[in-house]
Amino acid sequence: MIVTAKKQVPWSWVIIAALPLAAVFFQGGVMGQAFIFTLKKFFDNPETITFIISIPPLINMVVAAVVSLLSDRIWTRWGRRKPFLIFAWGKGVIFMPLMPLMPDATSLLVIYFISSLLGALSTPYEPLKQEIVPPPQRGMGFAFVRFLGEAKNLLFFFVMIGRFDDASFMGPLMITGELVLYWTIGLMWLAMLLLLMLGIKESKTDSNQKRQAKTFGSMVKALIDPHLRNIYILVVGTAALGAGLGVMGVLVYTDQWGYSKQDMGTNVAIGAALNLGIVFVVGYFADRWDRIKIFQFGIIAALVLKAVYFCYVTFVLPDQRPTLVEMVLFGEMIAVAAIIAHTVQSPMIFDYIERDRMGTYQAGHGLVTHLIGFVTINGVGWFVKGYSLLFMPPAGEATRIVLRAEADRPAIEQRLQAASWQDPAGGGPLAGAAIDARPWFATGRIAERGICYEVRLEDAASERLHAGERAAAEKAKNAAGTRLTTAKHALAAATAGGEATAMASATAEVAAAEAVVAEAGAALKRHEAELKRRADAFRAQVLTVLADQTVAEGEQILAVRADRALVVDLRADAVTTDSAEALLKAMRAADPAFIDLRVIRLPDGTRGISAARLAGDADAAGLRERIAAQAGVEAPKLLADGGLALAEQRERPVLVLEVASVEEPLESLDSPVTRLALSVEGLFGAKPPASDRRLGAAAKSVRKNAAFPLVRLSGRPGERIVVATAVLGEDAQAASGGDRAAALETRLATLAAPGAAPVPLQRTLYEAVEKACTGQRLTVVRPEIETGFAKLRYNYFSGYLWMMALGIIGLLITVRFTRMVRRGEIRKLGVEEHQR
């Protein structure tokens, strides 16, 4: 049994006292990360989400303050802190598992606010923990707290957040990753509740606070005690310094940078794994050095590193999208600085607080942090919204056009803004049209000059249609789709069990859900068709204004020629997808005329590889020897037991197309940090990523078409040209053409070389290349890239500017507090009490 108010305690007590924070941290992960995605099912605007998140702290600060004050002034048979915690942690057992089950926004918000209100009763936990752990052990004790936080990051972000959207069935019951996250929290709170009730005992003390009247006036007087007011100055500073991106941090990863939830989780988890040992080093020195100096060093380092990270992403990276290496590097440096500051922060503050005023201080601390939190959480949301409205493309009709030659952004915008425009919805004159035009690249590159432009018309009416009726129809369809899926599984279970009544009920439910899906789907299609009609009308006007500069269909095809290839089939029983891929990369790097290599089944059923090279001076034996030589380095197992023996050889016709692209097909490493990381990896034998890796991935997609079994896509340094070299299959057939087929075939007919494949087959290859490149963030030039309604593009990362401004304010406040300590205006009453 753990007992409070001891001069020294076993380290096992320190660890057990911190264990409830495992549930606190995990809930923080769920409510700070997963809950954002739960909210996004019903809300989209960042300022709305941040406002919802900020309301409970604002309401709860009053409840938390009263609870903290009372916890210094009461005594029950269970203690003075524990009764409040029993109710607070009990709510986690009940309400957290209910959140993902709520069918609409109203139900979700009701459960959320009730849960948050009851959660305010948990504020006496920190004083209870500090009463268990004496001052000389608090530094290492808080290091273990940080260890739990990093362990939570490792588990939550690496394992669980990426599974948020997963779903599986247990009979008719659908279990999602979202459900598992919230239910895990409920189980954790149940375990902590049992620990609190059965494993911790509070020691009764002769407290001056208990002898005071429990009136509102007396509690307010104790709350604004001159000594505590000075401590609140530091709390304001630390709260400002700790202000982060909040919910914007999640959306930076997923919405702005385009990473998946699992990518985000992996990034955080890597940092957490690195931090697990650092926290104990900091905790060791926190019990031996001047804590306030350590704290100031940490916050200054964190502030400087955040500024460096923002400038690096914004001004150095051409696409303003850091790689995983960069996120881990900067994130880890910032995290280490934050660990240094946060590990000493709590022990440092409680050095100034006596035991009997810990609850009173916690009340004031809660008021200050909740108020500052309300301002900072909403502030970052409104800052991001304002920044995006001022500097990012607006919501409205959007179209991406391609020019014949590169042009500067000011010149294009000037032509567009000088033109007369009509309302895309009604066709009437549109006065004061707000036109935005920016160079667009599939890679996200930010530039002031380009060949492809995204042109937008700010349109509030279309934005209301998209966010109102269309969004409502989409939500209704999704909800009905989930209902239909559940009903079908219930019907299958009832059918398997032969239960007639259940089958009839499930059949009726399936029919009802299908009707709702059809109705909502029809409404969604109507709204999307109207938005598309308006966007098409806007596009027609844009093309009229820029008619002399835009590319015409077919002009993107630069050249067509015919060739011959030598194809060899080699026996390779040990071949795998990975070994074939490694061998292919090596062959292409060693021989520019080499086309492709893929795993096949030979006529006798054994595994083999089929490889092709431009005929030229090649012969089958020589090609086989070249492949074997590379296999000896990249995949030696292929040579075992007579591997790579020649099974068949033949010559096949080759079709070569050259098409223009918006982006340069060959990637360059524009990131200094990534280049440095690759250089370090190279010292250990690691190979840098190939500059043509996007082309290689696109070629695999093209060869899924049986007409082109062996394909190579290549590029030339500094040129925006994709060269497609395709070996024609034995029974190569052209695909049926769409609306663009006639114009494409007309162009191809004018470029046709002697001996080339039929024009429809050439067009089929072009269409396959265009589609495959799109999937690899590589855009083949064409008159219409995309047209439709576009939402306001938010720059969530701009929240770093807000965060750094608050950090500077917090730093100045902390410096003022330090000067007050040095002048003797603030005493370490908690340390003095322990030493008596």
Q: What is the DSSP string of 229-245?
A: HHHHHHHHHHHHHH---
Q: How far apart are CA 76 and CA 478, in angstroms?
A: 51
pLDDT for position 672: 83
Query: Angle formed by the axes of helices 261-275 and 278-286, to 10°?
Result: 50
Lowest-pLDDT range of 99-113, 153-167, 181-195? 153-167
User: What share of the chain has pLDDT > 90, as a percent?
Assistant: 30
pLDDT at 231 (0 to 100): 81
Q: What is the mean pLDDT of residues 798-819?
A: 86
Q: What is the DSSP string of 384-420?
A: HHHHHHHHSPPSEEEEEEEEEEEEEHHHHHHHHHTS-
- pLDDT bucket at 687, cuts 50 / 70 / 90: confident
Q: Work out the end-to-end distance of the chain between its first and last CA atoms, rounded to an integer number of angstroms.
A: 26
Structure tokens at 221: 């007087």
**pLDDT value at position 207?**
55
Number of continuous H segments (helices) and E segments (strands) in the chain: 30, 16
DSSP 8-state code for residue 550: B
Categorize the per-residue pLDDT at 610 as very low, low, confident or very high, splitting at 50, 70 and 90. very high
Nearest to 451 by CA among 721, 698, 257: 721
What confidence tens digit (pLDDT) does each residue in 762-795 have? 999 999 999 999 999 999 999 989 999 999 988 9
pLDDT in tens, 37-77: 787 777 766 667 777 877 776 667 677 777 777 777 778 88
Is the alpha carbon torsion for 374, 380, 384, 389 positive or negative? positive
pLDDT tops 50 at residue 482? yes
> How many other β-carbons are positioned within 10 Å of the β-carbon of residue 706?
11
Residue 161 pLDDT class (50, 70, 90 cuts): low
CA distance linking residue 645 with residue 620, whole number of Å: 11
User: Look-up: residue for tokens 């009802």?
Assistant: 512
Q: Examine the pLDDT at 209 and tell me if it is beyond 60.
A: no
Query: Which of 159 and 629 is assigned the larger pLDDT?
Result: 629
DSSP state of 731: T
pLDDT at residue number 436: 94
Q: Of 151-165, 493-507, 525-539, 679-693, which range is least confident?
A: 151-165
3-state DSSP assignment of residue 176: strand
Query: So what's the pLDDT on residue 214?
Result: 58
Model confidence at 418: pLDDT above 80 = yes
132 phi/psi in degrees, rounded to 5: -75, -40
The pLDDT score that the predictor gives to residue 211 is 47
In DSSP terms, which residues pair with 724 in a beta bridge? 657, 713
Distance of CA 482 to the CA centre of its chain: 24
Return all residues near 266 (Cβ < 8 A) that are at least 6 apart.
Answer: 157, 158, 162, 324
User: What percentage of residues in the chain have a pLDDT greater than 70?
Assistant: 90
Lowest mean pLDDT among 64-68, 300-304, 423-427, 751-755: 64-68
Q: Which of 33-37, 149-153, 298-302 has the lowest mean pLDDT?
A: 149-153
Dist. CA 732–CA 714, nearest whole Å: 22
Name, of 113-122, 596-605, 651-660, the range with top average pLDDT.
651-660
What are all long-range contacts of 427-431, with beta carbons under 8 Å and residues at least 24 apart? Answer: 427/537
Banded pLDDT at 173 (limits 50, 70, 90): low
Nearest partner of 598 among 577, 626, 623, 571, judged by Cα: 577
State yes or no: pLDDT of 360 exceeds 80: no
Q: Report the predicted TM-score, pTM, of the whole model to 2 decimal places.
A: 0.75
**pLDDT computed for residue 75 by the predictor:** 80
Count CA within 13 A, CB hemisphere, residue 316: 15
Q: Which two tokens stand for residue 738?
A: 């769409």
pLDDT the model gives residue 287:
66
pLDDT the model gives residue 17: 80
213 pLDDT higher than 70: no
Residue 36, classified by CB atoms within 10 Å of its CB into exposed (0-12), middle (13-18) or buried (19+), is: buried
Residues 6 or more apart in contact with residue 368 via CB below 8 angstroms: 232, 235, 236, 239
Residue 283 has pLDDT above 70, yes or no: no
- Average pLDDT of the chain to the nearest whole number: 83
Question: Residue 648 in contact with residue 569, Cβ under 8 Å?
Answer: yes
pLDDT value at position 163? 67
703 membership: H or E segment, kind and range: none
What pairs with residue 658 in β-bridges? Answer: 559, 723
